[in-house]
Structure formats: structure tokens, C-alpha cells
Structure 1
């Protein structure tokens, strides 16, 4: 695998060429769509890259990675745009801080729960006011806009995340128990 990819050229930005070609032909909408779709995909990938990078980094560098990750989540409003990615990010942060800062870990678990509620409100892939051209593209992707699971299964998966042994120290805290109760209450709605 390494031999296949280590000498490959860096990303050349074909999307820029395509967008400029559409613009030159007068198709401004398609030019914007190409760029918005690429930015959308890259933002989600960068979140994954940052999480992966944090696993390879020494402890003192992880804070900077996590801070940048949180800035991306906020800047692109991923909580409403792609809450599934945000759940994964905040869960990873909660796991990391469960070793050193219970309050921070609990705060990230609260963010996971908040993102879960966002996901359940609009249970499909979608654009927003910045990514206003991607909905047509999302309709064409092979997986479609609907997730390959039910809302109840998503709630149960998040509930399983909260049962991670790393959160054993938090399990006695009132806020943690309240979130578990809220997850149980959510399950009743689905």
C-alpha cells in the first residue's frame, strides 16, 4: 500500500480547472457547485485527518490539533451541516480528556448529545446557506441522502459510546446520568 501511494503527486486541484471551465462557458452555478462540493467533502475529510493525526502525535501537540478541529466545526457550522461527523469528533475529544479532565470530557459528551439531537431533527444529508448548491449533487451520490440506518439505531449507537469504560469515572456524575436518561427518553420517541 505504501509503495502505491508514497510517490503519488499531491492533489492538483482538478476541481479548480473544472470550475474555471464552467465559469468561462458562462455556467456560474455549475462553477460554484463544483467548488462547494469539493470544499464540503474536504472539510469532512480534514476532520477525519485531524482525528487520525491526533493519534500519532505526542500529548503536548494534541491540544493544538483539537483546537483547530473545534474551529473547523464552528466555522463551517458542522453541528447542523453534518452532525454525524461532529458526534465522532466530540466523542474522540471526550475519550481523550476522560484521562485528564473530567469536566472537559463531560462537556464534549454534552456536545455529542447536542449533535445527536441535531442529527435526529434533519435525518439526511443536506446543504446550508454556505453550501447552497450541493443538494442536487447529494441527490446523485450512490448512497443517497438518507442514512443506511434508523434513527433508533443511531440513538443506540450513541448510547453505546456513552457506555465506554473510559467514562467510568464520569458515570457517577449527575450530568452524565441525566444524559443517559435523556438518551433513554429519546429512544421512546423512535
Structure 2
């Protein structure tokens, strides 16, 4: 039921119907009941520590990814304040480094770097914009060399791979890598927001380098 409501709300957003989203979900956020924690505690009381550990890891993973997923829109909303943007991104980068999210969930990291690059470009801080795009390009290239665009755990989240396998599509989220690669390149090379940097040598070199690393042919 929850999934169906969320899907419907997503469709309304795609159709540019925000009022329907608010009517469907409400105009405020209610405190969330920690169902995952209750399930974990129940398994713990039953003496099934392995399952309790898995549930706690799933809960932590979901909350972590949800937090990171909110950052791109949050930084764009606050783009008019350079000081606020720095506070947001400094905390975001610490979080990304601490939990090694570039490897754990590179797609989430890409969205943060991409949003940061756009905001810096809007602020005409081209040096920082290029720095964010370099990070974006590095993660893009690394994602395909290590096949890390598929959902997976790591040494910290070491009990969640089985959970991913239960998804309808399994852990594999990328169906056509060639399309994804071209989309990654186009997002840098063809975004109008970056047009003000089109004559910068570093910008041109970065696009050429990413094209080479992703093995994109004309």
C-alpha cells in the first residue's frame, strides 16, 4: 500500500502536478514509527541475533541513503546563500567519506556532486564547479570498472546483500550500460547551466577524458 501511494506521488511530480502530491501525502511530515527497529528487537528477543543484525543493518542503510538522496534538492533550494551551501556540502562530503558512499552507492554520490556543480556554476564559482565535476567524472568512470552500480553492501553493511537479492529486479539496477554511460557524459557536456564554462580548457579536457574512460564511440 505504501509503495503504491509513493509511486502515485512520483507520477504526479513527473506530470508537474505538485498540488495532487500534497493532497495525497499531506502538507506536513508526521513522525515516523520505527518499524524496522521493532522487527529487529523482536528477532533479538527470539534469540535470532543474525536476523536482528540484518534488520538493523537494513534500517541503517535505508536511513543513510535517504539522507544522502535529500541533499541534492536541499543544496539547490539553498543556492542563493553561498554560506548555507558550504555548510550543507561540507557535512555531505564528511558523510560520503565516513561511510565510503562513493563505493557503497555511487549513484547517490553522483547526484550530490552534480547538484553541487550546478549550484557553484550558478554562483559563478567556476573553480569549485569544476572540482565537483571532476569528482563526478571520477566516480562515473570508477563505477563501471568495478561494476559498483549494482546494489551491494560492504565491510560495514555486511549482512544486506541477501535483502537486495529479494528485490523484484534483484541487485542489478543497470540494464543498459551504454545508455547510462552516454547519459553521464551528456549531463556534463550538454547541460545549459555549464555553458558558461564551455571555453575553459579544463572543462573541455574533462569531457574528453570521461568520454575516453567510458569508452564512448561517436
TM-score, L = length of structure 2: 0.79
- Please tell me whether residue 132 in structure 1 is matched to residue 158 in structure 2: yes
Post-superposition Cα deviations, 1:143-185, rounded to whole Å, max 9, x if no partner, equal 3211243222221111111121222232223322222112222
TM-score, L = length of structure 1: 0.90
**Aligned ranges for residues 76-95 of structure 1 at < 5 Å?**
76-95=99-118
What is residue 117 of structure 1 aligned with on the other side?
141
What is residue 22 of structure 2 aligned with on the other side?
2
TM superposition shift of 1:106: 0.6
**CA separation of 1:45 and 1:8: change in aligned 2, threshold 3 A:** closer
Bigger RCO (CA 8 Å, 6+ sep): 1
Post-superposition Cα deviations, 1:23-52, rounded to whole Å, max 9, x if no partner, equal 111211211111111211221111122222
Post-superposition Cα deviations, 1:39-89, rounded to whole Å, max 9, x if no partner, equal 112211111222222333351422212222212211111100111111111
User: Is contact 1:19-1:31 (8 Å) kept?
Assistant: yes
- Please tell me whether residue 42 in structure 1 is matched to residue 63 in structure 2: yes
What is residue 179 of structure 2 aligned with on the other side?
153
Report how many aligned residue pairs link the two structures.
190
Long gaps (5+) in structure 1: none
- Which of 108, 129, 136 is matched with 1:105 structurally? 129
> Which range moves more in the overlay, 21-30 or 105-114?
21-30
What is residue 55 of structure 1 aligned with on the other side?
76
SS in 2 for 1:158: helix
**Structure 2 Cα separation of the partners of residues 187 and 176 of structure 1:** 17
Long gaps (5+) in structure 2: 1-20
Superposition RMSD on alpha carbons, in Å? Answer: 2.0
